[in-house]
């Protein structure tokens, strides 16, 4: 367990592990957290992993962790690190296996009272329309040039096929497509795993959730986003499925073989990396962008399925996209480092982009609240334009299976008026609300730190899980 006495307090919501903590650190490590939440963060190896990240070549300013931080593969989930484009590295562990796991929020013209009599029917219909679960395939299959078109054009390919609108793309980060994706650097095994997974949710903490606007913190911002009191919303949380996992697996294997050629030595083999400006680095970046485009196409196709479900239950599938944001990704962005501006490879793993004025979507755990925030100007100087991405686990999935009973958990959620449809009892208990941190406390940290301000709080009514 990390010794809290080694942390230096920078501000009420920011703590630092100084560069002097360990000889191999190139920059300090910083943690956004309340004092109380630090006690949860140190229960696992999150801070040790953050210190390891601070040793990587070409890292700029700090290695950062958000208040939802917990132990991950190499990097902590909730971690952010930026590397010089010319002198720095790219590391799949800083992006995650589920490339472009992300979340989108849709709004309906319906109000809470309109949907309350239909919750069970809506849950069943959504469960039937959105394929979910481990290895579950969708209704559409894309192979060869058809799949490559999705990898290159992302959500825009869904528009061309009739599953999206121009308004959907306008309200998606990067309009749902990264420009330098190259299917040539994606293995046939990855393509085989992903060929029938578009329009599917998967398992784990992925979900479709119907809720409503329970509380408004900033009336002007909420009005601009079309989020009035009791307005019905839909959250979609999923990523690139087995396709993205295989892309990460393939390129981690390549990097492990390549690192000796670049004289890269690591404190943890899970931090496998290569210079960004190397053949292996550029190839991974191109494949990662292809996986990101796959994920945006996936969330867009699920949006089409959700609209179909709403039409069946309410004769009205009018669901407008508020925003879609990635939280497992690397992007080239420009920041001021000292007296000069530099292009940096910003790794966000379980972290959300929070550019000024941009919606920041923070899903809570099943049965708790979610939030819509707006990014603030200080984020650009304080956190590479980044915020938290959710509540963050406080308990392993194994422990959750030991501690919670599916029937009892379902009954408890029913008491709260929440209808749950889940394909797996095991997966259901792994995502129990008490397995996660307090999302209100997490959001308060980034709000108080000036990174992103609270706009509305959403309360769930129907949860559909794999």
Q: Which residues are catalytic?
A: 389
Give the separation between CA 20 and CA 192, rounded to whole angstroms: 47
Give the separation between CA 50 and CA 31, rounded to whole angstroms: 9
Nearest to 63 by CA among 41, 23, 32: 32
Contact 315, 273 (CB under 8 A): no
Give the separation between CA 411 and CA 202, rounded to whole angstroms: 24
* Inter-CA distances, 334 with 48, 179, 251, 348, Å: 28, 17, 26, 15
- Tell me phi and psi for residue 320, to 5 degrees: -100, 140
Parallel, antiparallel, or unpaired for β 59-70 and 77-84?
antiparallel
**286 CA to centre of own chain:** 20
Q: How many residues does the chain have?
A: 466
User: In the block, which residue shows the tokens 């962008």?
Assistant: 289
Give the separation between CA 326 and CA 349, rounded to whole angstroms: 10
Give the separation between CA 37 and CA 42, rounded to whole angstroms: 9
Given CA atoms 319, 324, 327, 328 in this order, what sign does their dihedral have? positive
Burial class (CB within 10 angstroms; exposed 0-12, middle 13-18, buried 19+) of 184: exposed
H helical segments located in 239-278: 241-258
Longest dimension (CA), the chain: 64
Give the separation between CA 409 and CA 435, rounded to whole angstroms: 12
Contact 61, 27 (CB under 8 A): yes
Contact 362, 389 (CB under 8 A): yes
Instruction: Centre a 10 Å sphere on the Cβ of residue 415 and count the other Cβ atoms it contains.
Output: 8
Nearest to 257 by CA among 246, 247, 269: 269
Give the separation between CA 387 and CA 445, rounded to whole angstroms: 10
Contact 67, 442 (CB under 8 A): yes
Contacts of 267 (CB under 8 A, 6+ apart): 24, 52, 55
């Amino acid at each position: 367990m990390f010794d809290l006495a080694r942390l230096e307090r920078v501000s009420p919501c920011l703590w630092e592990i100084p560069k002097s903590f360990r000889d191999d650190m190139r920059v300090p490590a910083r943690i956004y957290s309340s004092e109380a939440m630090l006690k949860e963060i140190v229960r696992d190896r999150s801070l040790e992993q953050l210190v390891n990240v601070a040793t990587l070549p070409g890292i700029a300013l700090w290695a950062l962790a958000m208040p939802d931080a917990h132990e991950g593969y190499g990097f902590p989930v909730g971690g952010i690190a930026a590397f010089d484009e010319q002198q720095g590295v790219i590391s799949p562990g800083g992006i995650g296996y589920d490339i472009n796991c992300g979340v989108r929020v849709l709004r309906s013209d319906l109000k809470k009272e309109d949907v309350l009599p239909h919750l069970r029917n809506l849950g069943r219909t959504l469960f039937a329309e959105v394929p979910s679960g481990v290895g579950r395939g969708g209704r559409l299959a894309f192979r060869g040039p058809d799949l490559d078109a999705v990898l290159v054009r992302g959500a825009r390919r869904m528009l061309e096929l009739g599953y999206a609108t121009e308004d959907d793309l306008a309200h998606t980060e990067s309009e749902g497509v990264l420009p330098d994706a190259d299917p040539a650097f994606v293995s046939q095994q990855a393509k085989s795993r992903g060929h029938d997974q578009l329009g599917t949710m998967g398992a784990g903490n992925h979900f479709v959730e119907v809720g409503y606007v329970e509380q408004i913190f900033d009336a002007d911002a909420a009005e601009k986003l079309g989020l009035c009191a009791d307005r019905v919303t839909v959250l979609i949380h999923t990523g690139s499925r087995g396709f993205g996992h295989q892309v990460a697996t393939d390129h981690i294997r390549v990097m492990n073989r390549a690192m000796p050629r670049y004289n890269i030595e690591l404190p943890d083999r899970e931090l496998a990396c290569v210079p960004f400006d190397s053949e292996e680095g550029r190839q991974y970046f191109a494949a990662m962008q292809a996986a990101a485009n796959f994920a945006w196409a996936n969330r867009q196709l699920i949006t089409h399925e959700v609209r179909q479900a709403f039409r069946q239950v309410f004769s009205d599938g009018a669901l407008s996209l508020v925003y879609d944001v990635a939280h497992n990704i690397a992007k080239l962005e420009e920041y001021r480092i000292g007296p000069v501006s530099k292009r940096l490879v910003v790794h966000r793993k379980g972290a959300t982009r929070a550019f000024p004025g941009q919606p920041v979507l923070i899903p809570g755990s099943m049965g708790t609240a979610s939030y819509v925030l707006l990014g603030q100007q200080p984020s650009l100087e304080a956190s590479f334009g980044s915020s938290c991405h959710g509540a963050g686990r406080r308990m392993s999935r194994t422990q959750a299976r030991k501690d919670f009973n599916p029937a009892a958990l379902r009954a408890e959620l029913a008491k709260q008026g929440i209808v749950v449809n889940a394909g797996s009892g095991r997966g259901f208990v792994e995502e129990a609300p008490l397995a996660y941190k307090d999302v209100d406390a997490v959001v308060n940290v980034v709000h108080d730190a000036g990174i992103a301000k609270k706009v509305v709080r959403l309360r769930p009514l129907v949860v559909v899980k794999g």
